Structure 1
Amino acid sequence: MKVTVTSANAPTVRHTTHIVMGAPVLTARQDKPLTGVEPGSELRVTPAFGNKGDTAIGDSFIVELWTEEATLRRQYSNCRYDKAVSPTRAQCELPGPLPVGAAYETDGPLTAVVDETAMYGKVYTTVLRAHDPLNNTLLPASAPRGTGGPLGVRPVDGSGDDFIPSGYGKAEMAGGELSFSTNQINDVQAIGFTIKGKVGKVFDTQVPYPRNYDGGVLRLKLPEGVTLVPVKPENHPSEVSYCEYADQEHGLAHCSGRLDGGAWLRARIDKRVPGAQGGISASSDPEIDPNQENNTAPVKVEYLD
C-alpha cells in the first residue's frame, strides 16, 4: 500500500507499507507418555516445531523447557538455565527462518534427569517467536548458560497429526509435554515424622499418609519415653482419626491411614531419652511392591525447652 501525503507548506511525503494477508501457525510435536521409567535415569527430549500457516516466519525462535519431578543438564551455550545446579527450566534461542510447511527439530536432545523419588512427572516445551515473548517471563541475560556448544535445528516432516497448534493463545506459539511415570508408582513409601513437645506435656502430631498407599491401618512404634494418650471417638470430629494402642506394653499402636490428612497421634513425652526413635509402617503386597525397605520410616522426638 502506497501512501502520499501533501501539504501547502511542507514537502510531499511518500511511504510504502507491505501488508501480508495470512498468518503463520506454529505447531509443536507431541510426545507419547513414557511408563516404567527408572528413577535417576535420563530422558532425552528433542523438541520439534513446524509452520502449518500460510505465511513464513523470518526471525529466530525461543524454545523453553521446564520440568516436574526432574532436573535439566546444562548442555548448550545458546541455552540459559534458571539455576547453575539442578535447573528445572531452560530457554534456548534457535535460528530461523521457518517457511510455510517446514518443520524442524533440535539437532541434539535436551536431557532431563528423573528425580530419585519421582513417581509421575512432566517435561513441558513451548516454542515462540523470539521477538514476541507473549508476556512470558524470560530468563535474564545473566542466567547461567550451558557448558557445551550451541544447539541447532535440522529439518523433519511436520505434516503429521502429531504436530499440532496450541489450543489457546496466539498462532505464533505452540507447546507440548512429555509425561512419564516411573517404576515406583506401586512402591508404597512410608513418610517419617517428628514428635515435638515439652517433657510432661500432651500434644497432637499429624501422622503423614504414605505415598502410593491405598488405605488401611498404619503400624506405629512409639519412641522410648513417649506414651500414647487415647482419644475417645465422641471427643473429636468423625472425619478425624486418632491412633490407638495395639500393644501398650511394647509401645505399639495402630493408626487409620486417611488420604485426606493421614491420622493424628495424641501423645505425652514422659521423659527425655537421647536418640529415641520409633517407626511408622504401611503394608503392601511384596509381589507388586518388591521394595519393602521403604515401607517403614523413622519417628523421631524433638524436645522443646
Structure 2
Amino acid sequence: MRKTSAVLASLSLAVLALTGCSVTASSDGASCERHADATGIRDAVTVEGELGEAPDVSVFSPLHLTRSEVADVIEGDGRTIVNDQQALTVELSIFSGETGEKVYGTAYDENKGQVSNAAYWASQSPGLAQAFACATEGSRIVAGLTPEDFGAEALSGLGLSEDDNMVFVIDVLDVFLSKAEGTLRFNDAQGMPTVVRAADGTPGVIVPDSTAPTKQVVQTLIDGDGEKVTAEQIPLVNVTAVGWDDKKVVSSTWGEGPTGDLASSAPTLADELVGRTVGSQLLAVVPEADGAPATVYVIDILGAVTAPTQ
C-alpha cells in the first residue's frame, strides 16, 4: 500500500449486476464475485496513462448504453473491497458519453487525496456500486453508466442532458482493512469484558456483573501485522462503545463506515493508538468521570493516513 496523504470524505454513509465473474479471496478471509468483464464498454473507451495519474481517455461517442457496464482495464493484486463501508482512496474522471468531453475529475494528487468508501460514491451516483463491488487495490476501472444509474440529480449538477450516458475511469489506489486481523493475544486480567466477533468482524461485548475499573485500562486483543501508527497520522478505526452499567451499545461505526475522529468520541483513548500496529484490536474501559458513566470501547485499527495539504 502506498503511503497516502488523505482526509475522510464522510465515512459514515450506504448497492450489484453484470456478466461474467471471477472469485477473489480477500485478506480477511471473505470471498467476492467480481463482475467486470463487459466487452462493450472496453470497445467504446480507450484509456492510457499510469495508475494514479490523470488518464488519457478517448470515448467513441456518442455512446448509447442499454445497460450499465463495468470492465477492469488494470486488475490490481491488492486487498479486495468486501463491503461498501470499507475505507478507500480513489482518483476518478468522468466523461460525457454524448461528446466524449471530460466533465469532472479529482485532483490526482496524493497530498490532497480523500478517504471515502463505495457507499459514499454510490450515494453520489447509484450505478457506481457495481463498479466498486469486489474490486482490488491497484485496479483501474472503466464504467459506463446509463442516465438512470448515473442519477438525474448528478446529470443536472454537471449541466448535462437527462439522456447522457456517463463514462467513469476509476483508479483504486488504497483499500484499507475491513476488520482487525493479526494474532490473537491472551489477556489474563480478571473482571474485564469479553469480546466476541461476527464473521465480518463486528464485535459483541459481554460486560461482567462487577464494578468498573477506577482507572483506564487498555488491552490488546489482536496484534495487527501492519505498520505502526505515528503521532502525525490519522488512524482509521471502527469503534463500538458499550455502557458498563446498563450493558447497552452507546454507539458503533460498524455498518456505517470507519471514522478518523476518535479524539472527539473518546479523547482519552486517541493517544493509545500511537505506536499500535494497523490490524490491531483494542479493548478499553474508560472509568466514570465528570458525570459520564464508565464505558467499554472495542477499537479496530484499519489503517492510518496523514493529514492532507491544502
Q: TM-score, normalised by structure 1?
A: 0.32
Larger-Rg structure: 1
Query: As a proportion of its length, which structure holds more helix?
Result: 2
Query: As a proportion of its length, which structure holds more strand?
Result: 1
Q: TM-score, normalised by structure 2?
A: 0.31
